[in-house]
Amino acid sequence: MNFKNSTVVVTGAGGFIGSHLTEALIEAGAQVRALVRYSSHNYWGFLEPFRKDPHPRLTIFSGDVRDPAFMEKMVDGAEYVFNLAALIAIPYSYQAPLSYVETNIHGCLNILEACRRHKVRRLVQTSTSEVYGTARYTPIDEEHPLQAQSPYSATKIAADKLAESYHRSFDLPVTILRPFNTYGPRQSLRAVIPTILNQALTGNRIRLGNLLPIRDLTHVSDTVRAFMASAISEGTLGKVVNCGSGRGVSIKEMVQMVENLIHGPLEIQQEDERLRPERSEVFTLICDNTLAKKLMDWQPEISLEKGLSLTIEWFRNNLKSDSTKTYVV
């Protein structure tokens, strides 16, 4: 995809998808301004390797999307902005919902305002399939009703609607990309695939919550391609576009697939403390990606079986030998 010599801002660049997107944009020839959340440790997340081996087309900024003046400086002169900055851990959103409002909603508003004033070519706002809640029908298309079943999903719905309003009110060139469940190297252990792999590679007992929810899993490289395609497609302007495989797999089936790939028996143990509140659980998420195929000629290239194999290999190479809870960058 042609981003050569374009100035691109990526917020949430130190995270799982953000770091992969940053690397792909550099490879595509873009000049990338990568925003990582400031901390007293000045930690760059999964962009830490660039500290020792800097790239001439990458500039890393430590800051916070909640600071409007900072976002003005970040966006000034940029052609494309990808907003991946968000608090995403659903369980923590039950405990600290205001934090999610401040980052996911107020942070999005600051980015929208900065993009409006500096007249960017395209802003891609990152949504999530969690905004649909438990499916009323499957596969889920973009017309499916929205239902907030956690404080996290409520803030993402609000951010999506803010982005939509800026397109309608101010002609801001916005695309709302709505990935279903993305997995792959570097993903946080809070997510289900890393949770399963971490336990499977360090023992044979898999401790999980509800085994019945069905998820649509997309390898991170395919999700990154969707981000980039959505930014340059004229057809996606002002649109919400789903990004997913169209295949649903239950949590229990995921464990069985991992068991087959690592050639070892796994014992599943359900734990009540891992369960979501009863009315908050989202049971079925399966993507209808028809619009993505039509508007930006996108569909997944990596099968779930191949993607899981690649992810298992990465986890084997990166799990710390002295810990079952963390892995090396």
Work out the pLDDT band at 188, boundaries 50, 70, 90. Answer: confident
Q: Measured at the alpha carbon of residue 180, what is the angle toward residues 328 and 269, in degrees to the nearest 5?
A: 60
pLDDT of residue 40: 83
Cα Rg, the chain, nearest whole Å: 19
pLDDT bin (cut points 50, 70, 90) of residue 211 is: confident
Looking at residue 52, the DSSP 8-state letter turns out to be H
Here the tokens at position 165 are 């309003």
Task: Establish if 132 belongs to a structural domain.
Answer: yes
195 belongs to a structural domain: no
Alpha-carbon 82 to chain mean position: 11
Domain assignment present for residue 114? The answer is yes
Q: Cis peptide before 300, with omega less than 30 degrees from 0? A: no
Evaluate whether residue 191 is within a structural domain: no
Cα 89 from chain centroid? 11
**Cβ(35)–Cβ(84) below 8 Å:** no
Split into its structural domains, the chain has a count of: 1
Residue 102 is classified by DSSP as I
Residue 133 belongs to domain spanning: 7-184+218-244+287-301
23-81: pLDDT as tens digits:
999 999 999 999 999 988 889 999 999 999 999 999 999 999 999 999 999 999 999 99
Residue 65 falls within a domain, yes or no? yes
Domain containing residue 41: CATH number: 3.40.50.720
Q: H-type helices in 1-96, by residue range? A: 16-27, 49-52, 68-75, 90-95
For all residues of the chain together, what is the average pLDDT? 92
Q: Given its phi and psi angles, is residue 320 left (phi above 0), alpha (psi -120 to 50 degrees) or beta?
A: beta
Is there a domain that residue 206 lies in?
no
Distance CA 91, CA 102 (A): 17
- Bridge partners, 63 (sequence order): 37
Q: Quick check: 327 pLDDT over 60?
A: no
pLDDT in tens, 229-247: 999 999 999 999 999 999 9
Measured in whole angstroms, the distance separating CA 103 from the mean position of its chain's CA atoms is: 15
Domain for residue 231, yes or no?
yes
pLDDT, tens digit, 9 for 90 and up, residues 84-137: 999 998 889 999 999 999 999 999 999 999 999 999 999 999 999 999 998 899
Q: Write down the pLDDT at residue 322.
A: 40
Tell me, yes or no, whether 210 lies in a domain. no
CA distance 62 to 84: 15
C-alpha–C-alpha distance, residues 104 and 98, integer Å = 10
pLDDT at site 212 = 84
